[in-house]
Structure 1
Amino acid sequence: MALRYPMAVGLNKGHQVTKNVSEPRHSRRSGRLTKHTKFVRDMCGFAPYERRAMELLKVSRDKRALKFIKKRVGTHVRAKRKREELSNVLAAMRKDC
């Protein structure tokens, strides 16, 4: 914590230092499309399970879509992330049309 006032006690106590700015961790960039993934997505579209999940999301079957994706990707957290990603894609498609 940086020193704001020259005090030895209280919330703003301590030796004044400059903050050490570090690079964001590699784990923080998960979920971002790489150039390669983006290119493949453009050329081939979505995987069959992703297309089925998008159909479920179109008819407002969010819970069923989550269960379906979870069975395919393995974990609940990854399934939630994938469902969110696919619903964002659907929203973008709706906005374009």
Structure 2
Amino acid sequence: MDQIRCPLLSSTICTPAPWSFRSWRQNKEVEMAISYPMAVGLRKGHPVTKNETAPRQCRRRGCRTKHTKFVRDLIREIYSFAPYERHAMELLKVSKDKRALKFIKKQVGTHIRAKRKREELSNVLAAMREAAAKKDSSVQSCYH
């Protein structure tokens, strides 16, 4: 490393590798030099630590809270599924995924919401199948 004398500081400092930065032509990550309290250059000025600010409320929009999840699970447990959801589940049981998607889309309005609902209902069906298989295996083990 080269030793240079800084006119602003009374001590001798070591310079790291030459300055480098991301160029718009070369899209690759390169190493930046360590900042020193110098009056000139890209990193001039007194080095400070940034204040950690709490994330803004608007960044939380759409995140499911524990309370919301609890309420939705409770409603699902009490009221079960809507009639259109039951019909869609019947279509999914007989492997009519595309027809189920078209049917759900007509009910909920948008394609993305329909895909999400179909995925949710297929996960419910898979969980029901898994629970039935587990129950069936426990019943068979009792008799043998």
After TM superposition, the score normalised by the length of structure 1 is 0.75
For structure 2, list consecutive stretches of 5 or more residues without a partner in the other structure. 1-15, 22-29, 36-49, 133-144
Equivalent residue, structure 2, for 1:46: 81
Go from structure 1 to structure 2 and tell me whether the alpha carbon gap of 1:20 and 1:43 turns closer, same or farther (over 3 Å shift): same
Unaligned runs of 5+ in 1: none
Structure with larger RCO (C-alpha < 8 A, sep 6+): 1
Who is 1:13 aligned against?
Answer: 32
Give 1:26 shift: 2.2
> In terms of Rg, which structure is larger?
2
Residue equivalent to 2:96: 61
Q: Is the alpha carbon distance of 1:92 and 1:8 closer, same or farther for their aligned partners in structure 2, counting shifts above 3 Å?
A: same
In structure 2, relative to structure 1, the CA distance for the partners of 1:26 and 1:6 (3 Å cut) is farther
> Following superposition, which runs of at least 4 residues in structure 1 exceed 6 angstroms of deviation?
14-21
How many pairs align? 91
Per-residue deviation at 1:40? 1.1
SS in 2 for 1:34: helix
Say yes or no: does 1:95 pair with 2:130.
yes
Please identify which structure carries the higher helix content. Answer: 1
Which structure shows the higher strand fraction?
2
The answer to whether the aligner puts 1:74 opposite 2:109 as a matched pair is yes
Q: Distance in 1 between matches of 2:130 and 2:117?
A: 20
Deviation, structure 1 residue 37: 1.3
Identity %: 53
2:61 to 1, 7, 26: 26
Q: What is the root-mean-square deviation of aligned Cα atoms in Å?
A: 3.1
> SS of 2:87's equivalent?
helix
Against the structure 1 CA distance between its residues 35 and 8, is the aligned structure 2 distance closer, same or farther, given a 3 Å change threshold? same
